[in-house]
Amino acid sequence: MFLLGCGGPFPQSTLHPHSDFARATDVLFTDIFWWAAAVFVVVEALLLVALVRFRHREGRPAPKPTHGHTLMEIAWTLAPAVILVFVAVPTVRTIFATAGDAPPDALKVEVIGHQWWWEFKYPELGITTANELHVPVAKAVQVAITSADVIHSFWAPPLGGKRDAIPGQVNRIAFRADSVGDYSGQCAEFCGASHANMRLRVLVDSDAGFTAWVRDQQSPPATPAKASLAEQGKAIYARAACIGCHAIQGVSPGTIGPNLTHVASRTTIAGGLFPDDSAHLAGWIADAPALKPGSIMTRMKPPLTDADIAAIIAYLQSLK
C-alpha cells in the first residue's frame, strides 16, 4: 500500500520535485525517513527479542525484574538525543535555505487569497490575473503571499512547501522551477465552505512562452466588432452587477472578483474548478453558488435571460 500510494507522479505529489525549493525539502524528507526507518527496525528487533526470550514457558519461573540499571538509562537517553541532533541539523539548514530570500533579479509575484480563488499580481510587469500563475523556467521567482479575508495557505507541492496567506501579513516563498510544465496546487488551510474547491495552477513556461504570455497580458483587451454578439455582451456586462465586482481594463475597475481583462487566455474558471468553456461559463453566470457552495457571486436580480448569458459569454471569450 505504501509503494502504491507514493509511487506515481500524481498532480499534487510532494515526492516528485520540480524546483530547487521542492528538491531541498525532498532531500530532508528522505534523510529523516531513513533515520526513522532505522529507529523502527532497531525498536522492533528489540521488541521481538524480548517477546521470544521472555515468553511464558511451563515450569520456568518468571525472570527477575531489573531496577535502576544506570547504563541502560544513560543509553536510551543519549541515543534519542544523538538522533535528534542528526535530524535537527539538516532541518535547520533547510529552513534557512527555503526562507523566501531571492536574488535581486527574481520575478516578483504578489499572491492574494480570497474565498475561494487566488489573485496573482506582477507589480513590475503591470499584470493582474487569477488562479493560473505563469512563471519562466530556470528563473528565480519570489512570491509574496497574503489574504484579503480569512487565513488561506498557498501550496503547489511539486514546486515547494506551503505558506500561509494571513490578512495583514506577508509571507514569502522563493523557488526556481527546473522544467516546463503544468503543476497543480491547492489551498492547504481550511477556509470555509468551498475550501476544497480553491485550486490553483502554476504554469512553468519556456523563456519564449513566458515572454509571449507577458506581451499578451500587457496588451489592452480586445474591442468587440460593431453589432456583434460580443458587443451586446459588453453592454449587458456594463449594466448588470458584473461591473461592480470584476475589473476589465478600460471598462470596469472592480476589485471584489477576479480580474477578467484577459479571462479567455485562462484554461479554467471558478477558482480552477471548471474548464473555461461555454457550457461551464453559462452555468457559472446563471447560478455560481449552485456550482461552488458559498460563492459570493450570487444570482443576478432580475435574472439574466439565456440570450443575455450567451452574449456575455461571447464577450468574455473575446478577451484573450
Q: What pLDDT, in 10s, does the model give residues 240-249?
A: 888 889 999 9
H-only helix segments in the chain = 2-6, 20-53, 70-97, 207-218, 229-239, 242-245, 278-286, 288-291, 306-316
Q: What is the pLDDT of residues 156-204, one digit of tens each?
A: 999 988 999 999 999 999 999 999 999 999 999 999 999 999 999 999 9
Provide Rg for the chain, Cα atoms: 27
Shared fold status for 107-218 and 229-316: yes
Residues 92-102: what's their mean pLDDT?
A: 91
pTM: 0.86
Task: Just give the CATH number of 107-218.
Answer: 2.60.40.420
Instruction: Identify the band that residue 131 occupies on the pLDDT scale cut at 50, 70 and 90.
Output: very high
pLDDT in tens, 49-83: 989 888 888 878 877 777 888 898 899 899 999 99
SS3 42: helix
**Please, which contacts does 47-50 make with residues 24 or more away whose CB atoms are closer than 8 Å?**
none
Provide mean pLDDT across the span 81-99: 92
Using DSSP, state whether 162 is helix, strand or coil.
coil
pLDDT, position 254: 83
Per CATH, the number for 2-97 is: 1.10.287.90
Least-confidence region, from 1-10, 16-25, 70-79: 1-10
Amino acid at 109: V
Neighbours of 282 (CB within 10 A): 16
| Of the candidates 190, 192, 144, 146, the residue with the CA atom closest to the CA atom of residue 167 | 146
For the chain, the structural domain boundaries read 2-97, 107-218, 229-316
Question: Which of 183, 316, 180 minimizes the C-alpha distance to 251?
Answer: 316
Domain 229-316 = CATH 3.90.1150.10: no
What confidence score (pLDDT) does residue 8 get? Answer: 64
